[in-house]
Structure 1
Amino acid sequence: MAAMAPDFIFMLTNQDRTVADALERLQDVLGAGVRHIGFKDIGLPFTQLAELASAIKAAGAALYLEVVSLDEDSERRSAQAAVELGVNVLMGGTRPSTVLPILAGTAIRYYPFPGRIVGHPSRLEGTVETIVDSAHRLAAIDGVSGLDLLAYRFDGDVETLMSRVCAAVHKPVVIAGSIDREERMAAVVRSGAAGFTIGTAAFNSAFSGSPDLRLEIAAELAALRAITARVVRTAPPALRPI
């Protein structure tokens, strides 16, 4: 069980694609106080992604790029893009042997997907046991800084999956995809995850019902604070923050 709030990572994405007006929307995200911001490697041409990356870094936020590539050549290009963009964290992908040589010598943290990833938008296939095993093997690789778990893209016992993966590895686990209601956010907090991403749910006004993105993010952050406080109150004493 987590005793501290996970990082709130806002993705300027909808349905696994960077939104067309990401640079404009960034102002609302920053205005809401978010300091972990990312986007996907598809949806905008590279020149616009570079402009977006520069604006995020200039604002002092941590920059994330999430890979949705399904083949090795595309994943290689995505890793090269991460280096050129100067991201802080490269998330996703399934091929450390391809990506790590490209990231060598940089300070980029790498969080690949455990389990079998199929389709677009991405789905996570396998059983809890096979995904936990995949997570354990990936986390043991030098150069893998953490994991990007598509928990709510899994057709099974999601809460068990999150808790088992977080307990199985000693590196940060970020939960990505489809966190579109308070019950799911609460499950993420309880799992002990280091962070979670939210994007499509925000652009669909899932928490506030408002088309105003800044108000939507404020509702999400308020929900996270309330959930974290509730989890801390009900946690065993040994798990409470000092």
Structure 2
Amino acid sequence: MTELIFMLTHHDVTIPNAIEVFDEVKETGIKFIGCKDVGLPIDKLRELFGKMKKADITTFIEIVSDDEEKHFAGVKTAIKVDADYLIGGMPQFTKKTLEYLKNKKAKLKFFPYIGKIVGHPCVLEGKVDEIINNGIEFEAIGIDGINLLLYRYVGDVDTLLNEAVKNLRVPLIIAGSIDNFEKIDQLKSKNVWAFTIGGAILEKRFAPGKSVSEQVSVVLQHLR
């Protein structure tokens, strides 16, 4: 079954009331929740991740910085808060990140971006075969999965998805700009492992006029 990862983020930063929003959604049946490495001080992040662990939530931290120092600060944050998954991270840092995680004996799983990532918010550029080959190259060095900016791709999204599902062996998380049920249905039809939604839930796009917890419930119900 394709899974929803609810991201407590908006505009690529963790929302300031992330703990309160988590408390609101934790009874919906959501199993996967994440946030960015930036936006909350480390003590608040530790509190948030502690509460999520206590509620048996699988946890994710996503990194989007193209600055190497900020990237590795995010990796360290993910280890400090004991996240289950580290997702994102620019492709140019993937090999070094894998080595760092191995040296630290970190238990978290790593799902980096693939392809040419540009701008902020990030978009994905490059030819489909180049993006897929980048993923295959990363599989060979030991990544656990891939965080694919499918709906931020400037080319043919359908072709990219088809080729990714066909050629990549590791689990896929689809991140970015998932803001309607049509996109969710497309991912379900391809048995993609998971996808992230943050802003579209916080902006209440899936059930207009309803609460954030009701947005989460509606998406979860749609996946069943």
Please report the TM-score for the alignment, with normalisation by the length of structure 1.
0.87
List aligned pairs for 1:169-180, cutoff 5 A. Answer: 169-180=168-179
- What corresponds to 2:218 in structure 1? 219
Q: C-alpha displacement at 1:211, in angstroms?
A: 4.4
1:38 matched to 2:34:
yes
**Structure 1 residues 141-220: aligned runs within 5 Å:** 141-142=141-142, 144-220=143-219
Residue 123 of structure 1 deviates from its aligned partner by: 1.1
Q: How far is the alpha carbon of 1:115 from its aligned partner?
A: 0.6
Q: Which moved more, 1:154-163 or 1:55-64?
A: 154-163
Report the Cα distance in structure 2 between the residues aligned to 1:194 and 1:223, rounded to whole angstroms. 15
Aligned position for 1:21 = 17
1:121 aligns with 2:114: no
2:95 equivalent in structure 1? 97
Unaligned residue ranges in structure 1 (runs of 5+) = 226-242
Q: Which amino acid aligns with 1:186?
A: D
Amino acid at match of 1:147: I
Cα pair distance change 1:108/1:176, threshold 3 Å = same
The one-letter amino acid of 1:149's match is L
Q: Is the 8 A contact 1:37 1:64 kept in 2?
A: yes
Match of 2:3 in 1: 7
Q: 1:133 maps to what in 2?
A: 133
Aligned equivalents of 1:140, 1:169: Cα separation in 2: 11
Cα separation, 2, equivalents of 1:19 and 1:60: 21
Aligned counterparts of 1:60 and 1:217: Cα–Cα separation in 2:
17
Residue matched to 1:234:
none
Task: Count how many residue pairs are aligned between Structure 1 and Structure 2.
Answer: 220
Shift of 1:46: 1.9
SS in 1 for 2:26: helix
**Alignment partners' CA distance in 2, 1:85 and 1:198:** 21
1:106 corresponds to:
106
Q: Partners in 2 of 1:159 and 1:187 — Cα distance?
A: 9
Return structure 1 stretches of 4+ with deviation > 6 angstroms: none
Alignment-mate amino acid for residue 180 of structure 1? D
Kindly provide the CA deviation profile for residues 151-206 of structure 1, in whole angstroms up to 9, marking residues without a partner as x.
11112221221221122111101101111111100111122311111111101111
Q: CA RMSD in A?
A: 1.2
Is residue 210–residue 216 contact of structure 1 (8 Å, CA) maintained in 2? no
Calculate the TM-score normalised by the size of structure 2: 0.94
SS at the partner of 1:120? coil
Q: Give the SS at the match of 1:31.
A: coil
Instruction: Give distance in 1, aligned partners of 2:52 and 2:3.
Output: 16
